[in-house]
DNA sequence: CTGTTAGCGCTTTCAT
DNA sequence: ATGAAAGCGCTAACAG
């Protein structure tokens, strides 16, 4: 790389001191307008650019925040990240994105790498699989690096989170199916050790009970969030003695797999069986048979997570508060579950 | 943040000097095995962690590379990024991902921010819209920061690139349609100022000419890569006096829009009209009417881009070479274009 | 209003 | 084999 201009170069050229240059550049009030002009002109002229690394070393702040997600190629996470960026970029922060591919080991590695890179905070959605492990979180908390969970959180004292009301989402989806006349509603659930999936399940269960229907545990199957898994689990459901007349899935991808399996058997959607997914991925809207799903306002979620982060950064280090923001989900009703005439959206 | 342990703390505790600690930790050969052990033990004991920022300031290397893409919520870009990560993580590099949302202004901002963050290099896929502007690239090149283009490149002297043979991709797709008996093949093209789209178009054109068909410029429509745009352009095509019997789109999303429009008119795919997309996004496989598309081996592309970057980093600064890697595309034939019996894949 | 000085944490000659 | 000291580029406390 070409030799970079430093404040010393400017100082030398102007016969003043580096400190003055620094102050002038930073708009320190006790610098004469004359020198300020002079300095900033020469800086421009010499193509000066502040070395953020030096600043970071000095101030202990890197102006980088880490964002850890299971994967980036889902619209949901990509949108959350977009929200975070929109909020943080104008404030001079940079976003380092890491993927865990749903592996705990990678999650730990990522946290450590980000910590090494001296990030000022970490916003994350925890991963599914792998052994429970809290060491890296402990390290984070001990170092007092702000940690914010979004969507997939973990109950940790003093750690803030931004989530949606998954219970409500599950409840709404199930209620909708019941309203459509479905009576035997199955649930394809992701790993229920993760809170969001547990809550969607609980909402589903509660809706069934509240409506006086029979809750049948055998209609609940746990899957990963892959399309193929959705088909596989649906096979099991359809092979039951009394198969379900509706499926509520905690994932759009799994719902897609379910639909494929249902269709391959010549069953009709929504006439024979209704399907509802979760996350409102774009493809749910684009399919010829559009899929009913629960929207989680991901961009909003990202923005709020970023705001919470900013609050923690600016907070006096002593006060430890824990903020829990909960957004309201919205059911997007589409063809896959609408037996009546009009199609919404 | 809690006070961090530095090599000075270790030195003090051991009654030696920071330099020795540094050397011991870095495996400098002229350190006795005894002290090396001692130092590394105490380091562990005191929870020492190297401050990468200081290292970066000292060495002038940040071990961060920037990756700039139009957006991350497309499987293609997400996969390229995955390839880059796989290659770079083990080498101790971090990846900072930035999105331009296809706006030149954001592209420029991103380049500047990354430069400020002292990244060791930038891997990028350029954006579509906005005024042509080369200043930020110039700045990059002047600073001698390695720049690698992948997929969407720009012809700049001394800048390496990794792309696929888009001409071939376009040619193959079109040839396939001709082989299926199509004679009037339309092309929905993205902005042809971008090389990849120009080349797909040229491949398409050449295949038509080589097969002795008439090339009709009015069958070529330029769109953005949004689904809705695909429908809109297809409307125009289908309203023509002699509508096409096939559509080759330079984007899967546009192909999806085309399919929606075609179906809404009661036309049959592939019987009445065949459709081929480009990029092999997962949804092309998942649709009930699976979409034929051109695969670009994105993970591979990312890996190679990262390798090229590593070469440039290690290269003696004086020698300027320009490497152009071109990958071969693969046509994935699916239902949307297969009139005969067997369905591949 | 501006200069002096020290220090952020680390590496790296140059000595010894 | 280890210590001393300088320096990466910047800011901030203390002088004046």
Residue with tokens 């110039």, as numbered in its chain: B138
Query: In the predicted model, what is the mean pLDDT of chain B?
Result: 90
End-to-end CA distance of chain A: 54
A55 touches chain B (CB under 8 A): no
Protein-to-nucleotide distance from the CA of A60 to the C1' of C6, whole angstroms: 17
pLDDT tens digit sequence for B6-43: 999 999 888 898 889 999 988 888 888 888 888 989 99
Local confidence band at B129 (pLDDT 50, 70, 90 cut-offs): low
> Which strands sit side by side in the sheet containing B185-190, from one edge to the other?
B220-223, B185-190, B246-249, B274-276
Q: Is B97 close to A72, i.e. CB distance below 8 A?
A: yes
Q: Are B296 and B279 in contact (CB under 8 A)?
A: yes
* B241/A contact by beta carbon, under 8 A: no
**Can you give the residue ranges of every domain in chain B?**
7-50, 62-164+297-327, 166-296
pLDDT of residue B209: 98
Nucleotide with smallest C1' distance to residue B30 CA: D1
Protein-to-nucleotide distance from the CA of A60 to the C1' of D10, whole angstroms: 12
pLDDT tens-digit readout, B289-304: 999 999 999 999 999 9
CB contact A115 to B (< 8 Å): yes
How many C-beta neighbours within 10 Å does residue B224 have? 16
Residue A155: how many other CB atoms lie within 10 Å? 9
Q: What confidence tens digit (pLDDT) does each residue in B185-243 have?
A: 999 999 998 899 999 999 999 999 999 999 999 999 999 988 999 999 999 999 999 99
CB contact at 8 A, B139 and B115: yes
B58 and chain A: CB distance < 8 Å anywhere? no
Interface contact B117-A94, CB threshold 8 A: yes
Q: Which nucleotide is nearest to B7 (CA to C1')?
A: C9
Cα distance between the two ends of chain B: 54
CATH topology of domain B166-296: Rossmann fold (3.40.50)
Decide if A328 touches B, using CB distance below 8 A: no
Q: What are phi and psi of A319, to 5 degrees?
A: -70, 125
Per-residue pLDDT band for A314 (boundaries 50, 70, 90) equals confident
Which residues of chain A does B57 touch, with a Cβ-Cβ cutoff of 8 Å?
51, 53-54, 57
User: Is the backbone peptide bond immediately before B201 cis, with ω within 30 degrees of 0?
Assistant: no
Q: What is the DSSP letter of B29?
A: T
Residues A103-115: tens digit of each pLDDT:
888 888 888 778 8
Residues near chain D (nucleic strand), Cβ < 7 A? A 4, 6-8, 18-19, 22-23, 25-26, 48, 50-51, 54-55, 57-59; B 15-20, 23, 28-32, 34-35, 54, 57-58, 60
Q: How confident is the model at residue A158 (pLDDT cuts 50, 70, 90)?
A: confident
- Do A62-164+297-327 and A166-296 come out as alike in CATH topology? yes
Whole-number pLDDT of residue A342: 45
Kindly determine whether residue A287 and residue B289, on different chains, have CB atoms separated by under 8 Å: no
Residue with minimal CA–C1' distance to C3 is A17
pLDDT at B336 over 90: yes
Through-space separation of residue B54 CA and nucleotide C5 C1' in angstroms: 21
**Does the domain spanning B7-50 belong to CATH 1.10.260.40?**
yes
pLDDT tens digits, one per residue of B44-99: 988 888 888 888 888 888 888 999 999 887 889 999 999 998 899 888 788 888 88
Contact A113 B99 (CB under 8 A): no
Separation between the CA of B14 and the C1’ of D1 (whole angstroms):
16
Residue B112 CA distance to nucleotide C1 C1' (Å): 33
Radius of gyration of chain A (CA): 26
Q: What is the CB neighbour count within 10 angstroms for residue B133?
A: 12
The pLDDT score that the predictor gives to residue A136 is 76
Predicted confidence (pLDDT) at residue B132 exceeds the cutoff of 90: no
Residue of chain A minimizing CA distance to B117:
A52
Please, what CATH class does the domain formed by B62-164+297-327 belong to?
alpha beta
Sign of the four-CA dihedral A236, A242, A245, A248: negative
Which chain A residues are within 8 Å of B110, Cβ to Cβ? none
- For residue A5, pLDDT beyond 90: no
B68 beta partners: B98, B124
**Using the beta-carbon criterion (under 8 Å), do A113 and B94 form an inter-chain contact?**
yes
Coil, helix or strand for A167?
helix
- The sign of the dihedral angle between the CA atoms of A292, A293, A295, A299 is negative
In eight-state DSSP terms, residue B218 is G
User: Within 13 Å and on the Cβ side, how many CA atoms surround A274?
Assistant: 25
In a 10 Å sphere around its CB, with 0-12 CB exposed, 13-18 middle and 19+ buried, how is residue A136 labelled? Answer: middle
Residue A230 burial (C-beta neighbours within 10 Å; 0-12, 13-18, 19+): buried
Structure tokens at A195: 């809170």
The distance (Å) linking the CA of B37 with the C1' of D1 is 14
Question: What number of other Cβ atoms are within 10 A of residue B226's Cβ?
Answer: 14
- For the purposes of burial, counting CB atoms within 10 Å of the CB of B130, is it exposed (0-12), middle (13-18) or buried (19 or more)? middle
What pLDDT is attached to residue A338? Answer: 93
Check pLDDT > 60 for residue B318.
no
Distance CA B296, CA B301 (A): 8
Query: What confidence category does residue B342 fall into, taking pLDDT thresholds of 50, 70 and 90?
Result: very low
The number of beta carbons lying within 10 Å of the beta carbon of residue A239 is: 9
Q: What is the pTM of this model?
A: 0.82
pLDDT higher than threshold 80 for residue B104 = yes
Distance from CA of B53 to the nearest CA of A (A): 6
Does the pLDDT of residue A47 top 90, yes or no?
no
Contact A96 B94 (CB under 8 A): yes
Q: Does A252 touch chain B (CB under 8 A)?
A: no
Q: Quick one: residue A93, left, alpha or beta (phi over 0 = left, psi -120 to 50 = alpha)?
A: beta
The secondary structure of residue A176, as a DSSP letter, is H
CA distance B262 to B41: 70
The number of angstroms, rounded, from the C-alpha of A19 to the middle of its chain's C-alpha atoms is: 43
Distance CA A307, CA A298 (A): 14
Interface contact flag, A1 B143, Cβ < 8 Å: yes
pLDDT reading at A341 higher than 70: no
**Which is more confident, B112 or A251?**
A251
Across-strand partners of A293? A332
Q: Can you say whether the dihedral through the CA atoms of B114, B115, B117, B119 is positive or negative?
A: positive
Query: CB A72 to CB B74 under 8 A?
Result: no
Neighbouring C-alpha atoms within 13 Å toward the C-beta of A234: 28
């Amino acid at each position: 790389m070409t030799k970079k201009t430093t404040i010393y170069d400017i100082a030398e050229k102007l016969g003043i001191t580096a400190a003055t240059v620094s102050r002038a550049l930073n708009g320190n009030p006790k610098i004469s307008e004359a020198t300020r002009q002079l300095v900033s002109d020469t800086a421009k002229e010499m193509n000066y650019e502040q070395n953020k690394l030096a600043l970071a070393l000095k101030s202990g702040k890197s102006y980088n925040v880490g964002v850890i997600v299971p994967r980036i190629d889902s619209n949901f996470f990509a949108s959350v990240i977009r929200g975070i960026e929109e909020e943080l970029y104008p404030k001079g922060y940079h976003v380092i994105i890491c993927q865990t591919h749903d592996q705990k080991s990678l999650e730990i590695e990522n946290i450590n790498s980000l910590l090494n890179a001296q990030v000022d905070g970490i916003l994350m959605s925890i991963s599914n699989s792998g052994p429970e492990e809290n060491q890296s979180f402990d390290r984070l908390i001990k170092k007092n690096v702000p940690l914010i969970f979004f969507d997939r959180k973990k109950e940790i004292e003093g750690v803030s989170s931004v989530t949606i009301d998954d219970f409500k989402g599950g409840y709404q989806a199930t209620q909708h199916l019941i309203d459509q006349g479905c009576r035997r509603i199955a649930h394809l659930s992701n790993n229920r050790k993760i809170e969001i999936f547990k809550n969607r399940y609980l909402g589903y269960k509660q809706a069934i009970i509240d409506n006086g229907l029979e809750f049948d545990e055998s209609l609940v199957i746990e899957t990963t969030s892959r399309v193929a898994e959705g088909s596989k689990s649906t096979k099991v459901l359809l092979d039951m003695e009394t198969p379900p007349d509706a499926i509520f899935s905690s994932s759009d991808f799994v719902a897609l797999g379910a639909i494929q399996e249902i269709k391959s058997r010549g069953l009709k959607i929504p006439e024979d069986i209704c399907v509802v997914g979760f996350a409102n991925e774009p493809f749910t809207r684009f399919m010829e048979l559009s899929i009913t799903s629960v929207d989680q306002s991901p961009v909003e979620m990202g923005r709020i997570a970023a705001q919470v982060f900013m609050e923690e950064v600016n907070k006096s280090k002593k006060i430890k508060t824990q903020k829990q923001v909960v957004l309201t989900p919205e059911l997007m009703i589409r063809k896959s579950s609408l037996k009546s005439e009009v199609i919404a959206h």
